[in-house]
Structure 1
Amino acid sequence: MLTLVPTDLWAYTRSDGHSVAGIPIDFLLFAMTLIGVALFHNRVLHVALSGLTVILLYNFLVTGFKHGSGMGGLVAHFGHEWVILTNLFCLLVGFALLADQFERSHVPQLIPKVLSRGWVGNFVLLILVFILSGFLDNIAAAIIGGTVAMSIFNKRVHIGYVAAIVAASNAGGSGSVVGDTTTTMMWIAGVNPLDVLHAYIAAVVALVVFGIPASVQQAKHAEIVSADSATLHVDKARLAIVFIILVSAIVTNVTVNLRFNHLADHFPFIGVAVWVALIATSFWRAPDWKLIPGTAAGSLFLLALVTCASLMPVEKLPLASWESALVLGFVSAIFDNIPLTALAIKQGGYDWGMLAYTVGFGGSMIWFGSSAGVAISNIVHEAKSVGAWLKNGWHVVLGYVVGFAVLLAVYGWQPTPIGNSASTAAPTASHSGTR
């Protein structure tokens, strides 16, 4: 649920700076930062902040920023980005506290009663995450799935299954205009909600392809552990608090986008709504506020990478085609999908359902490729390793490719012009939803 880039993002023509073998130094610095994150996964925040500092200095001293040069350009850049960053920070930390409320409601411990043993029950949990993400924020869906998994597997969750939970949350929102940032952007820009619905063809196929191997991995790693239900009592107050927070986020998301879209650039409505609900309900049942420092550190890591991505000179995309849509999914694993989608909308000529699948699901291939992945890694710390994620979550990459191939074979490449609707805003206007 992020507020997106403004309509004049690329209004300023910055200096080309320098390049190596035709590659702008900005991208090389960003690539070095990502390599550092992959190699030093125990120091990811330090690496990300160091990389951001170097990129900011390079923009400040050499190329200038998208909105101007020098201090004025820097201030203008963050003047446009602060809503995105604030929303993301509020959601990541806020939903971590929501997860604490959900866990202390004792509902996760009771879920084994309705799940089958073995890989089938594990797969059912992924299906539930997939469904939840169709109408909830994908961070919330991933955190709920991760919280349940940590409970029912007695905190022994396989990295491959963690990757699958993230993938299920991202895939589940790909065909719904309220399930993901990218689809919400398209909706507000004038894309008919039915024109993204066919993303579910690929998403469902991908869920089967990555979900079954991940469920088998988890079954071999740790079985579902049933708690003594006779000693457990659902804390209905905490469960109600979870419901209130989620409803607050959903209602604010829809209301701002449909009624007050012109104000969405100027205030982090979604993040504030979550925190208003958290604080208001804390007098009923307080969350564990001690979780904030640790979660905030993990959240700052993603904010640093998002800021780095916002500084890259990405002014145009290749011509719209199914090949470019496929590649954008892989790019989305390391590059923020918000500006990518904004550019695609501005360019036009895309099959919006195919694009929604690729940029929405693509971030699942690496743990920091989506906010859902960063959020769940704050719960399962072992997930903060690119090598472990790729090695154990290989099925997510396979699922992405197979899902795309089936969508292309069954539905084909059907680009749709952006229509004129009452809710249409400028292509790169602000929206809610999370990557």
Structure 2
Amino acid sequence: MRLEEQKILSSRTGIGPRLGIAGAAFALWLVPSLAVAATDPPTVFGIPFDFILFALTLLGVALFHHHTLQVALTGLTTIALYKLAFTGFKTGDGLPGLLSHLAHEWVILANLLCLLLGFALLSKHFEDSHIPSVLPKYLPGQAKGAFALLAMVFVLSSFLDNIAAALIGGTMAHTVFRGKVHIGYLAAIVAASNAGGSGSVVGDTTTTMMWIDGVSPAEVFHAYVAAVVALVLFGIPAALQQNKFSPLMAYKPGGAHVDWGRVGVVAFILVTAISTNVYINLRHAEIADHFPFIGVAVALAILVSAPLRKPDWSLLPDATKGTIFLLALVTCASMMPVEKLPVASWQSAMGLGFISAVFDNIPLTALALKQGGYDWG
């Protein structure tokens, strides 16, 4: 085929897609009339169809855990198209309504993006400081040591991501128990990492979301009352079980030395995040919702401290995928008609707790924040 014929064919074949794109764009601008006409949005057994789509998205994430990003993005696209066609958004109908909604949510999403990526680098800084390698030195013997290790994981997760704290705890357990770690004790490590972050706004993604949304750290802190009780209830039986399965091995001094420079970097990033958020919310609360101050502050702190200790930038590609997945779910939750949810109560809070045992708790937290009325501790 000659070059001229190829150009003619490509121009002809390109007409269809271009017309399709133009038609789709025009249809999106016409959609407001359709959404306005839908005075009674579709429901299934009285449940708004928005929530059905949201639940199917979470179910897909649970079932297809090797394709979570694709499932989350598919769910987000489906929910957005449904709302464009039928219900509209709180900020308006059609494409203008969608754009207004995203403009309203962008600060929260940008803060989460920066914080999740930043805390991934922070966790690696802490791991490379070799503190996890020397912590077993301070463990007592027998079952007391097994429980003390769980308590260490609890404390670590108060300022590290709970996954990082659980991985560090698992590594320490593998060492001090000579590779023989009971499955029940592994579950206790995971439980300790979740409990430890429950009362800290920098220890868990969900509590960080609360902090970004304007919830005071003091309102979250008293969650430690229940968290400490939970640590005792599951920690003691798990420690006794692990001690029976494989007693704690005495600490043997190795070649690991604490890198205090990295410890300083970790402290600097955390102090920057906390002080920025406190300052903005106390002195300039009127602009807190207009710019992602805390996220940008963490990013700048990482860049400023990079000459002292270089972050492990190789973590960012995988961390970015995980972050986009979480942001997609949070955006899905932001589109839900939360006014249709049951009134905030201890029953609904307990229901959310049981649901989060199966589904991802981050979009559920986003739903609760949108609705309001909960005791965040």
Q: TM-score range by the shorter chain?
A: 0.7 to 0.9
Compared with structure 1, are the counterparts of its residues 297 and 161 closer, same or farther at alpha carbon in structure 2 (3 Å cutoff)? farther
Say which of 186, 194, 198 aligns to 1:171. 198
Give the AA of the match of 1:169.
G
Partner Cα distance (1:230, 1:129) in 2: 21
1:16 and 1:119 map into 2 onto residues whose CA distance is: 61
1:34 corresponds in structure 2 to 58
Structure with max Cα Rg:
2
Contact 1:109 / 1:148 at 8 angstroms: preserved in 2? Answer: no
Deviation at 1:223, TM superposition (A): 7.5
- The equivalent residue for 1:76 is 100
Mark the CA change 1:245 to 1:198 in structure 2 (over 3 Å): closer, same or farther. closer
Cα shift at 1:264: 1.4
What is residue 407 of structure 1 aligned with on the other side? none
- Identify the match of residue 127 of structure 2 among 89, 97, 103: 103
| Paired residue secondary structure (2:67) | helix
**Equivalent residue runs for 1:299-318 within 5 Å:** 299-315=323-339, 317-318=341-342
Which whole-Å CA distance do the structure 2 matches of 1:293 and 1:115 have between them? 36
Q: Show structure 1 runs of 5+ residues with no match.
A: 1-11, 346-351, 358-435
Cα offset, 1:162, TM superposition: 5.0
Tell me the equivalent position of 1:5: none
Equivalent position of 2:307 in the other structure: 283
Match of 2:257 in 1: 233
Shift of 1:118: 5.4
Shift of 1:116: 3.2
Indicate yes or no: 2:376 matched with 1:356: yes
Distance apart, 1:167 and its partner CA: 2.0
What's 1:148 paired with? 168
Would you tell me which structure has more helix in proportion to its own residues?
A: 2
Q: Which amino acid aligns with 1:107?
A: I
Contact 1:64 1:70 (C-alpha < 8 Å) held by counterparts: yes
Structure 2 residue runs of 5 or longer lacking an equivalent are 1-34
Q: Offset of 1:241 from its aligned partner?
A: 0.8
Question: Is 2:368 the partner of 1:340?
Answer: yes
Shift of 1:152: 1.4
Letter in 2 for 1:164: A
Deviation at 1:226, TM superposition (A): 7.7
Distance 1:291 1:45 in 2: 17
Match of 2:13 in 1: none
Alignment match, 1:248: 272
The 1:226–1:41 alpha-carbon spacing in structure 2 relative to 1, beyond 3 Å, is farther
Provide the C-alpha distance between the structure 2 equivalents of 1:223 and 1:58, rounded to a whole number of angstroms.
Answer: 57
Deviates more, 1:282-291 or 1:323-332: 323-332
**CA distance in structure 2 between the partners assigned to 1:226 and 1:276 by the alignment:** 42
Q: State the identity as a percent.
A: 47
| Secondary structure of 2:111 counterpart | helix
Aligned-residue offset at 1:55: 0.8
Contact 2:89 2:335 in 1 (8 A): yes
* Structure 1 residues 117-156: aligned runs within 5 Å: 117=141, 120-131=144-155, 136=159, 140=160, 142=162, 145-154=165-174
Structure 2 distance, partners of 1:60, 1:215, is 54
User: How far is 1:185 from its partner?
Assistant: 6.1
Which has the higher mean CA deviation after the structures are superposed, 144-153 or 109-118?
144-153
Shift of 1:119: 5.2
In structure 2, relative to structure 1, the CA distance for the partners of 1:40 and 1:262 (3 Å cut) is same
Q: CA RMSD, aligned part only?
A: 3.4
How far residue 215 of structure 1 moved from its aligned partner, in angstroms, is: 5.0
How many residues matched?
327
Q: Is the 8 A contact 1:99 1:147 kept in 2?
A: no
- Structure 2-normalised TM-score? 0.74
In structure 2, relative to structure 1, the CA distance for the partners of 1:110 and 1:104 (3 Å cut) is same
- Which of 81, 86, 109 is 1:85 aligned to? 109
